[in-house]
Amino acid sequence: MSTATMAPINSAPNLQKGTPSPSMAEERLSNNDDIEDRALMRKVDWHLLPILTLLYLLSFLDRANIGNAKLDGLTMDIGVQGANYNTALALYFVGYVLWEVPANIVLKRFNPKIWLPTLALAWGIVSVCQGFVKNQAGLFAVRFFLGTAEAGLFPGVIYVFSVYYKRRERHWRVAVFLGGAAVSGAFGGILAWAIGKMDGVGGRPGWAWIFILEGLLIVVIAIAAYWLVPNWPDQASFLTQDERVRLIARSKNDSAGTSERFDWKYVIQALSDHLVWAYAFLFHGFA
What integer pLDDT is reported at residue 10 of this predicted model?
Answer: 47
Rounded-to-integer distance, Cα 256 and Cα 259, Å: 6
Contact by Cβ (8 Å): 125, 61? no
> First and final CA of the chain: distance in angstroms?
103
What integer pLDDT is reported at residue 43 of this predicted model?
Answer: 95
State whether residue 260 is helix, strand or coil: coil
What integer pLDDT is reported at residue 108 of this predicted model?
Answer: 86
Q: Is domain 42-280 given the CATH code 1.10.10.10 in the classification?
A: no
Mean pLDDT, 10 residues at a time, the chain of 287 residues: 47 46 46 79 95 94 91 92 91 93 90 95 96 95 96 94 90 89 83 91 93 96 96 92 90 63 80 85 67
Chain centroid to Cα 74, Å, comes to 31
**Helix-helix angle 206-228:22-71, to 10 degrees:** 160
What integer pLDDT is reported at residue 65 of this predicted model?
Answer: 92
What integer pLDDT is reported at residue 167 of this predicted model?
Answer: 87
Rounded-to-integer distance, Cα 234 and Cα 240, Å: 10
What integer pLDDT is reported at residue 32 of this predicted model?
Answer: 58
What integer pLDDT is reported at residue 31 of this predicted model?
Answer: 54
- Domains of the chain: which residue ranges? 42-280
